[in-house]
Amino acid sequence: MHLLDYNEEGIARFMAREGLRNKVWHRQGQEIPDGIQCIDTALKAARMDYQVLKSDLFADVNGERVKVDGKCLVYRDEDGKQLGVNGSDFRVIQPREVFECVQEFIQGGELTIDTMGTMKEGKQIFMSLSIESDPLEIVPGEVLERHIMALDGYDGNTPLTFASVATTPVCNNTVRAAIAEAQNRGDGLIRSRHTKNALSTPRKDVMRRALGIAKHQFEAFAEFGRSLAAIKMSDKAVQEFYSAIVMGDKAATDPSEWTSQQRRKVAEMMCCYKEGDGQVNSATPIDARNGTAWGAFNGVTAWTNHLNTIRKGETERAHNVLFGTGDVVNSKAAQLLVRQYALAA
């Protein structure tokens, strides 16, 4: 199941660059050639070349049509799809306005478009981009892939948000790059709300700031990974670590007192640590990082990315890992390791 939005012909409002659509997105939407540099081309391929409009909101009161003060209805022009009910001062920002900020960075070779689409019945729009720069190696043979995710929405609850996203290709695990610093510096996300001054700062300046912050966050995450890779952990220590994530202060209690679900979660994390999630890249054996805190951390991210979201589509999985319960679990794991081993953050 996907959170992707579909048009009246049943086609997903989504595009992915060559290779990603078949590999990850189960042939959803439209595939575009690698290296596309035009936002308008990408928007058309994703079937997002529509306008978002707003109007007064009316309610039926005893058979009479009455305007609701202080509220507006936000909808899509091509099919009248309702996208949200918001305060009357809600500033509609068109999909093109959201994403055109990356145009010069794509043309300048700093970014490459990976995916673009709509989800949650059109209420949210997203785009992911790869950062083109020198490789960041965590351990020999394991290079960090760096991305920026942009998310925006018309539901009144989703501000324009930029997140730095790190992917470890060994298990295709995704995690926010700011996660190792989150306990000291907030969540590491850049947000801009839909107020009347929403476009007062040029979007490309926001994007430039996001890109600069992302580069710092990736360097910090790589250093975090290297520090973890240097820490040896026995299987017993790893299991105690997973117990602390699942059970918190009750981790020291007798496992016989845990619920079956709690025992299952710890066992699944241990399985991900030992054997991966079935998506391990054979070029970098999982054994190379087992026995270390880096391997233990990746057991958690493998669980939140794959095993705990096995029935979800790729969109829902990514959303959960970056902004939902998966991110909460990953953050907790990082913070436990930082505290336990007195790592700099």
- Around Cβ 73, how many Cβ atoms within 10 Å? 17
Give domain limits for the chain: 14-49+93-223, 52-87, 227-340
- Classify the C-alpha dihedral 252-253-254-260 as positive or negative: negative
Q: What is the pLDDT of residue 194?
A: 76
Residues 6+ away with beta carbon under 8 Å from 205 = none
Distance separating alpha carbons of residues 76 and 91, to the nearest angstrom: 14
* Structure tokens belonging to residue 122: 């059109």
Q: Collect the ranges in the chain with pLDDT lower than 50.
A: 1, 22-24, 182-183, 278-285, 345
8 Å CB contact between 237 and 292: no
The DSSP code sequence of 231-243 is: SB--HHHHHHHHH
The pTM of this model reads 0.82
- Determine if residue 259 is left, alpha or beta; phi over 0 gives left, psi from -120 to 50 gives alpha, anything else beta: beta
How far apart are the two ends of the chain, measured CA to CA in Å? 37
The bridge status of strand 30-32 relative to strand 124-131 is unpaired
Q: What is the pLDDT of residue 135?
A: 81
With tokens 């996907």, the residue in question is 2
Digit-coded pLDDT (tens) for 295-309: 999 999 888 887 665
Q: What is the pLDDT of residue 246?
A: 93
Q: What is the pLDDT of residue 281?
A: 44
